[in-house]
């Protein structure tokens, strides 16, 4: 369902490059107290049943686990639906299970990217990404995102490709074969996909 929703957000010829979430520490911290409460209820009701076996109505106490259970389920869903997406055109932040909130920034409007990792963040691979843009909103802050280095480098590489498309360098027809060879090397190294290579190759050959 989430993947289908993301596809609906994409424009024509827009492709997802990376999908990331907040670190799993956050969801574990959110559900920890609820798990403790569920365990306490189960133990408490079990002890009461053992002590007062003549009162089977005590067993109804097990129903109390539904409340923290639902709260825990809600926390997991919210974590799962809070996503940070890099496409070949923009950065998208989605949140909300039923009521969706979408914030996006065009890559060509990104002025600077700041990454902050604490000591524990470097050990467990999480950190904060701050995106400074030229829009009125100004700043997008992604807190405790998983693998922030990968997210930042992926976003900056995507931005570079966007800028190259917007401001292409003048191409000399005598240098087109060399450019195709260079792009083929990038394809072999996995920096660009086969589809991107074929598309650029076709575009360059049309200029001969």
In a domain, 102, yes or no: no
In a domain, 13, yes or no: no
pLDDT score, position 126: 92
In a domain, 205, yes or no: yes
Domain residues for the domain of 48 are: 29-77
In the numeric block, which tokens belong to residue 184? 């083929």
pLDDT score, position 119: 92
Distance (Å) of CA 113 to CA 85, 132, 169: 15, 6, 25
Neighbours of 47 (CB within 10 A): 11
Kindly tell me the burial class for residue 125, based on how many C-beta atoms sit within 10 Å of its own C-beta (0-12, 13-18, 19 or more).
middle
In a domain, 54, yes or no: yes
In a domain, 71, yes or no: yes
In a domain, 131, yes or no: no
Last residue of a domain, one of 21, 49, 77: 77
In a domain, 206, yes or no: yes
pLDDT score, position 53: 74
pLDDT score, position 146: 92
Last residue of a domain, one of 77, 94, 112: 77
Domain count within the chain: 2
Compute the distance between CA of residue 68 and CA of residue 30 in angstroms, rounded to an integer: 11
Looking at the whole model, is its pTM more than 0.75? no
In a domain, 175, yes or no: yes
Last residue of a domain, one of 41, 57, 77: 77
Compute the distance between CA of residue 139 and CA of residue 132 in angstroms, rounded to an integer: 5
SS3 136: coil
Instruction: Name the DSSP letter for residue 109.
Output: G
Q: What percentage of the chain's residues is helix, strand, coil (to nearest 5)?
A: 55, 25, 20
Nearest CA to 104 out of 11, 201, 181, 4 is that of 11
CA dihedral 7, 10, 11, 14 (to 10 degrees): -100
pLDDT tens digits in sequence order for the chain, 208 residues long: 457 788 888 888 889 999 999 998 888 888 898 999 999 988 988 888 888 877 777 778 888 888 888 999 999 999 999 999 999 988 998 988 888 888 888 888 888 888 999 999 899 999 999 888 776 555 688 889 999 999 999 998 988 888 776 555 555 555 777 788 888 888 787 777 888 888 888 887 877 6
């Amino acid at each position: 369902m989430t993947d289908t929703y993301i596809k609906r957000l994409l424009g024509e010829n827009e492709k997802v490059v990376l999908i990331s979430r907040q670190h799993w520490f956050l969801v574990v911290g959110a559900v920890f107290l609820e798990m403790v409460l569920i365990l306490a209820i189960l133990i408490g009701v079990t002890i009461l049943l053992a002590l007062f076996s003549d009162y089977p109505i005590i067993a109804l106490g097990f129903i109390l686990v539904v409340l923290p259970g639902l709260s825990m389920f809600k926390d997991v869903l919210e974590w799962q639906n809070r996503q940070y997406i890099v496409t070949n055109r923009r950065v998208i932040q989605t949140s909300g299970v039923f009521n969706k909130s979408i914030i996006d920034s065009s890559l060509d409007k990104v002025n600077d990217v700041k990454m902050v990792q604490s000591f524990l963040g470097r050990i467990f691979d999480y950190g904060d990404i701050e995106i400074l843009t030229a829009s009125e909103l100004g700043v997008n802050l992604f807190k405790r995102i998983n693998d922030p280095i990968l997210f930042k480098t992926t976003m900056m590489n995507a931005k570079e490709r966007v800028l190259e498309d917007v401001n292409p360098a003048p191409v000399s027809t005598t240098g087109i074969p060399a450019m195709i060879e260079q792009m083929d090397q990038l394809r072999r190294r996995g920096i660009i996909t086969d589809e991107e290579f074929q598309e650029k190759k076709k575009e360059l050959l049309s200029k001969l």
